[in-house]
Chains A and B, each alone.
Chain A
Amino acid sequence: MEEESHIEEVEIQNKLEVAPALISVHPSQKSVAVAVGSDLRVFDLIDNCPVSLVDESDGPSRKESIRAIRYSASGKLFVSAGDDKLVKIWSADSWHCLNTVCSEKRVSAVAISSDDSHVFYADKFGVVWVVELDGINEGKTLPSKKGALLLSHYCSIITSLEFSPDGRYILSADRDFKIRVTVFPKKPLEGAHEIQSFCLGHSEFITCTAFVSTPELTQGYLMSGSGDSTVRLWDITSGSLLDTCEVSTVAGHLESNESESPTQVTVTDICAIPNSSLAAVAIQSFQGIFLLSCDLTAHTLSITKVIKIPGESFIPTSIAVSASSKLLWMVSGASNLPGSNHPGFSRVRVISCLETESSSTLEDEQIPGGAKLLEQLQGKIPIEESVMSAAAEAVRAAMSSLLMKKQYSEEKREFRKRTRNDKKTTQ
């Protein structure tokens, strides 16, 4: 039943793919960034004004979507990369583009080392590259560099890159259900060869990863979200699976019941709440967020709270939280929607007091930055309800098409091999 839609989707490949809107918050909430399609929009929360990005690198402005954005842990740097095969490293203070790295393939994930010394990017062929930043903190603009090979997942799309809280390990997750934990070497440019462990247990592509750590337990525990409707908890030094949390039941909170039995729900994004053992999780087809609590002694995960977002259709495509405040920032949006004139749109909403009883989704006026922020991050064109709901479905379909392995029936397989010489005679 999936097969027919795959054949049609092959035709769409020539056009630009539907890409979800992304959001990222500065660690001390100095600014908020949203990426929709090829558009990067930033709002300065200190000066309460939109940010104008300064990019002196030559080249025409690209139309392809940004697929990964991230602030460094220090808040000094910001990285954006995507289908245009460029990795842009920005100063998060002056918002000048400090460096543009050219990637051979489309980029699917980025990470920055905790001391701001290296930027990592992963592509759709499973290779993770590293670029060394020297003198970037002086604010100089450097000529474009090329990345060095760090490691590779053979022919798999890497969906997430993450550092362990103590900086000892770098994690890479892919669409072949694997998470590879590699020892972070002293000389990253020479490659990361020593694999610490593999975290194996998911039965579908992995979409997102996050570390939960407290001041007492600094090595942190890893949580991963997947297309198999679970969030799993891991001990990365041994690769052991500590607990599995089934999230498809949360989707049962939907009002409209499609008569299908519990279907697989893909986990869209996961975000650890700093200085706690909690994480916020967004899943496809659910208008809301739920909180997962990680019991770090018993090594278990449990759903502690489900927060529904009131109002018009809003299914988060990306979520973020800053270390300083306890606000959960969410964006819902997409670019390159089929049959739409919009190049892309995004809607931003915020949930406050996540952990407490009185958590609530803020009204637009209550959001830090208020109307000005929303205008900058959402754009001026109002979005229709129908567009919002169509977008959620388009994003779901696009992710499935990209990451889910195609299963062919016996007849279809034989048909595809019909021109091969050795297939013509059967004994």
Chain B
Amino acid sequence: MDNETKQTTFSKSTGLPRKRFYRARAHSNPLSDSHFPIPISPAHVDFSLHFPKFVEADNKIIKKVEFADIGCGFGGLLISLATLFPDTLMIGMELRDKVTEYVKERILALRRTSSEGQYENISVVRTNSMKYIPNYFEKGQLSKMFFLFPDPHFKEKNHRRRVISTHLLDEYAYVLRAGGIIYTITDVEELGEWMKSCLEKHPMFESLTQEELVSDPVVELLCSATEEGQKVARNGGQTFRAVFRRIAYVS
């Protein structure tokens, strides 16, 4: 049964999974206790399963994940970053199960069809990053975190479900090393204001200067690399960016 569905859900020409078989609603409730497995601690996560080509003879992974795409959706950003930073391990985190499946299949297919052994450094995990980021990453492990077009949760009573908030920034500051960068972008102006304000008010983050933004090759990917970004560009919409650096801090 599995083989048959695989043949129809994958395109015969590109070998890549067909998106329409992995459609899911845009929202998933971050408040509910979902049934995916949760690692007890970062030591309990076997990243060697995610990055088999970065493993030494003793089956131990040789380096740690440095980039995390929170709410990676269909994986567009990861795929663009994979070739820009081929020696860096990156992971996408996504709450929706069908979408995570799609990204998994997409990465495996890209690895298979790549002639230069690319895409071995990206992977995806299904989890609720608002609750379990410290379960996956150690203190100061990450050098980049991405929050592209997060769910705006328009109603005021739902603002607490927003992935960027003063409280959650404490946790993101914990997993980011000093000097690490957090990238956020949205097409919803109010959310853009909100995220920027949260970051400005948080004592452990400072804004990147204009020169720094221009010289960072990742910044232009924020708009162009993802499905969501491309949709906004097609509709001629405006985007609102907030890119901040995690600073060394003493309470």
A-contacting 9-mer, from B33-41, B55-63, B150-158, B229-237: B33-41
B135 & A406 in contact (Cβ 8 Å cutoff): no
B40 in complex: contacting residue of A127, A151, A177, A183, CB < 8 Å = A177
A-contacting 9-mer, from B69-77, B110-118, B167-175, B214-222: B167-175
B41 & A155 in contact (Cβ 8 Å cutoff): no
- CA A152 to CA B174, docked complex, whole Å: 14
B21 & A149 in contact (Cβ 8 Å cutoff): no
- CA A291 to CA B134, docked complex, whole Å: 32
A406 in complex: contacting residue of B31, B33, B170, CB < 8 Å = B33
Q: Is A193 an interface residue (CB 8 A)?
A: yes
A200 & B134 in contact (Cβ 8 Å cutoff): yes
- CA A28 to CA B169, docked complex, whole Å: 41
- CA A186 to CA B173, docked complex, whole Å: 19
Q: A177-B40, A192-B251, A194-B249 are in contact. Are A155 and B131 (CB under 8 A)?
A: yes
Closest B residue by C-beta to A421: B25
B174 & A422 in contact (Cβ 8 Å cutoff): no
B35 in complex: contacting residue of A149, A202, A407, CB < 8 Å = A407
B-facing mask of A185-202, CB < 8 A → 1, else 0?
110001111110110111
Q: Is B139 an interface residue (CB 8 A)?
A: yes
A193 & B173 in contact (Cβ 8 Å cutoff): yes
Give the B interface residue count (CB, 8 A): 30
Give the A interface residue count (CB, 8 A): 38
A198 & B134 in contact (Cβ 8 Å cutoff): yes
Q: A193-B203, A405-B33 are in contact. Are A422 and B24 (CB under 8 A)?
A: yes
Closest B residue by C-beta to A125: B160
Q: Is A257 an interface residue (CB 8 A)?
A: no
Q: Which residues of A contact B202 (CB under 8 A)?
A: 193
A-facing mask of B112-148, CB < 8 A → 1, else 0?
0000000000000000001100110001000000000
A154 & B251 in contact (Cβ 8 Å cutoff): no
Q: Which residues of B contact A408 (CB under 8 A)?
A: 35
**Shortest beta-carbon distance, B158 to chain A, in Å?**
13
Q: A185-B251, A186-B251, A194-B204 are in contact. Are A155 and B173 (CB under 8 A)?
A: no
Q: Is A203 an interface residue (CB 8 A)?
A: yes
Q: Is B166 an interface residue (CB 8 A)?
A: yes
Q: Which residues of A contact B174 (CB under 8 A)?
A: 195, 198
Q: Is A176 an interface residue (CB 8 A)?
A: yes
- CA A190 to CA B169, docked complex, whole Å: 14
A201 & B167 in contact (Cβ 8 Å cutoff): no
B170 & A195 in contact (Cβ 8 Å cutoff): yes
B-facing mask of A216-250, CB < 8 A → 1, else 0?
00000000000000000000000100000000000
B134 & A427 in contact (Cβ 8 Å cutoff): no
Q: Which residues of B contact A15 (CB under 8 A)?
A: none
- CA A152 to CA B42, docked complex, whole Å: 21
B251 in complex: contacting residue of A156, A194, A197, A239, CB < 8 Å = A194
Q: Is A413 an interface residue (CB 8 A)?
A: yes
Closest B residue by C-beta to A413: B35
Closest A residue by C-beta to B41: A200
Q: A156-B131, A194-B249, A195-B173 are in contact. Are A151 and B167 (CB under 8 A)?
A: yes
Q: Which residues of A contact B33 (CB under 8 A)?
A: 405-406
Given contacts A194-B170, A198-B41, 14 further A-B contacts (CB under 8 A): A151-B167, A154-B168, A182-B170, A183-B251, A185-B251, A192-B170, A193-B169, A193-B202, A193-B249, A195-B173, A197-B139, A201-B40, A203-B40, A421-B25
Residue contacts A-B, CB under 8 angstroms, 28 given: A127-B167, A151-B170, A155-B30, A155-B131, A156-B131, A177-B40, A183-B251, A185-B251, A186-B251, A190-B203, A192-B170, A193-B203, A193-B204, A194-B170, A194-B173, A194-B204, A194-B249, A195-B174, A198-B41, A198-B134, A198-B174, A200-B40, A200-B135, A201-B41, A202-B40, A407-B35, A408-B35, A422-B23
